[in-house]
């Protein structure tokens, strides 16, 4: 197949797209790794291309481009409603389309949730809120997310979503219905389809609303946070159940795991404090205490199991709908490779992520001028109560409170260090939030 894209136009085209993450670096070249032509009604077609962007410095990136050739350059094919319909139908009808170096495979799961009656012609509308992907609501019943920045291999969002939908009874999530995969040298997950949940509020906004209301949280909201903890416990039960699928089969936590995790946190602390101490010299006085804190993890008696986890859990990854919670976006931590995101870990890492999110909510309302109050402690306590109640006796957790607390503390510390590095790079005005958390962290003797 000849490449139906004018490569000379692509650098300028990419730099003008919201989802293109490489705007800060000079582009050395753009090449097409794979492409497929997809037919449209009326004898038209469009091209779905995977391009690789080489920069003057740094690692190359791959992007998915749905394009239509134009005399004056390249045009995003998603501006055409027929293109959106065609892409969705390719998935829904489980079609296979040949590409220059492999094939595109549509997958629709044979689950009860997948038996959805849809009108013809399909009503489609693009959501304009996302930066890194393109999302399309189809008939107000399903949502198609096209992944713009690609990584070779199995996308955890697809893999975990598929497992939950086909192998477990966990439904406190927008259920995965289908996906588009490319197979061949440029193999990757190109798109995923989930059940669309209208009238939702994200957990971050919902929590901020309650934190803004006064010095104390209401009993009703604390009950909601217990329910959130319960929902996370139910997710971990689903991901931690015995299975014959190696990617999801629980594994015992060994002393070597605890030592490896501890050493990793100590290493991250060295890098993080060296960077942050220039701006916050007071952190140097905490270095030895915090290193001792991380090293305690290596001395916890081995207990519990490594399982697949959410991997990037915070209040922005949960939704409030119909008076209950949904957990979504299983793609994992953006800064890690797919292989790293697919590693099994202690589920307490997810718990730590959510606890840190409550701290951010408290800091945010403080920056807005909200007076100090009793919000953070009760929020953490209620969430943990719900989680502990739903996971009591679970084989994936240590059975004694001392081990549970030591592991959770270490993973919270790990998360704070990640936050410091992230904020220094992306939001310098926010870095004080995790720095203050490190300063006040109590070191258990």
Strand order in the sheet with 176-183: 96-98, 103-108, 176-183, 188-195, 142-147, 133-138, 124-127
**Banded model confidence at residue 118, pLDDT cuts 50, 70, 90:** very high
pLDDT at position 128 is 78
Q: Quick one: CA dihedral 14, 15, 19, 24, positive or negative?
A: positive
Flag whether the pTM goes above 0.85: yes
CA distances from 97 to 129, 165, 270 (A): 30, 25, 50
On the question of pLDDT at 444 being above 50, the answer is no
For 88, the token pair is 């969705």
Report the Cα 382 to chain-centroid distance in Å: 24
Mind listing the pLDDT tens digit for each residue in 307-355?
999 999 999 999 999 999 999 999 998 778 888 899 999 999 999 999 9
Q: Residue range 240-246: average pLDDT?
A: 97
On the question of pLDDT at 9 being above 90, the answer is no
**Banded model confidence at residue 153, pLDDT cuts 50, 70, 90:** confident
pLDDT at position 308 is 98
Report the Cα 181 to chain-centroid distance in Å: 19
- Would you tell me how many other CB atoms lie within 10 Å of the CB of residue 135? 17
Biggest CA-to-CA distance, the chain = 74
**Buried b / exposed e along 379-390 (16+ C-beta atoms within 10 A):** bbebbbebbbeb
What percentage of residues in the chain have a pLDDT greater than 70? 96
Give 356-375 as a DSSP string: HHHHHHHHHHHHTTPPP-B-
Cα separation, 439 vs 421, whole angstroms: 16
On the question of pLDDT at 69 being above 90, the answer is no
In order of their start, the domains of the chain are 18-80 (no CATH), 82-195 (3.30.200), 201-440 (3.90.1200.10)
3-state percent breakdown (helix, strand, coil) of the chain, nearest 5: 45, 20, 35
For 416, the token pair is 């704070």
Q: Residue range 371-380: average pLDDT?
A: 95
Q: Which residue has the higher pLDDT, 9 or 109?
A: 109
- Rounded to the nearest integer, the mean pLDDT of the chain is 93
């Amino acid at each position: 197949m000849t490449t139906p894209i004018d490569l000379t136009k692509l650098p300028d085209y990419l730099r003008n797209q919201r989802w293109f993450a490489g705007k800060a670096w000079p582009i050395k070249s753009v090449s097409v790794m794979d492409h497929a032509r997809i037919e449209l009604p009326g004898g038209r077609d469009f091209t779905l291309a995977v391009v690789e962007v080489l920069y003057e410095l740094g690692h190359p990136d791959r992007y998915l481009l749905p394009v239509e050739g134009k005399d004056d350059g390249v045009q995003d094919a998603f501006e055409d409603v027929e293109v959106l319909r065609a892409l969705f139908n390719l998935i829904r009808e489980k079609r296979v389309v040949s590409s220059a170096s492999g094939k595109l495979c549509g997958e629709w799961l044979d689950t009860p949730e997948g038996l959805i009656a849809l009108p013809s012609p399909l009503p489609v509308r693009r959501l304009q809120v996302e930066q890194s992907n393109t999302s399309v609501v189809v008939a107000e019943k399903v949502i198609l997310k096209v992944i713009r920045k690609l990584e070779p291999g199995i996308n955890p969002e697809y893999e975990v979503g598929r497992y939950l939908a086909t192998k477990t009874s966990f439904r406190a999530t927008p259920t995965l219905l289908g996906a588009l995969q490319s197979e061949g040298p440029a193999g990757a997950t190109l798109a995923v389809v989930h059940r669309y949940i209208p009238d939702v509020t994200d957990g971050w906004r919902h929590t901020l609303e309650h934190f803004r209301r006064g010095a104390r949280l209401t009993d009703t909201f604390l009950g909601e946070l217990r329910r959130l903890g319960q929902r996370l416990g139910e997710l971990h039960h689903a991901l931690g159940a015995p299975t014959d699928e190696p990617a999801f089969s629980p594994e015992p936590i060994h002393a070597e795991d605890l030592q490896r995790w501890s050493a990793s946190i100590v290493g991250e602390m060295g890098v993080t404090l060296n960077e942050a101490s220039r701006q916050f010299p007071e952190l140097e006085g905490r270095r030895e205490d915090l290193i001792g804190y991380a090293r305690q993890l290596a001395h916890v008696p081995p207990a519990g199991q490594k399982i697949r986890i959410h991997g990037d859990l915070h209040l922005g990854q949960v939704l409030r709908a119909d008076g209950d919670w949904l957990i979504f976006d299983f793609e994992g931590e953006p800064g890690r490779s797919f292989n790293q995101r697919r590693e099994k870990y202690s589920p307490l890492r997810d718990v730590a992520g959510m606890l840190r999110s409550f701290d951010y909510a408290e800091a945010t309302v403080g920056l807005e001028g909200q007076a100090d109050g009793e919000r953070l402690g009760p929020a953490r306590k209620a969430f943990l109560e719900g989680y502990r109640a739903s996971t009591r006796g679970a084989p994936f957790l240590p059975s004694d409170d001392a081990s549970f607390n030591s592991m959770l503390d270490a993973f919270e510390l790990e998360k704070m260090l990640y936050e410091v590095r992230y904020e220094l790079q992306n939001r310098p005005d926010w870095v004080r939030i995790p720095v203050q958390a490190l300063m006040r962290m109590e070191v258990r003797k």
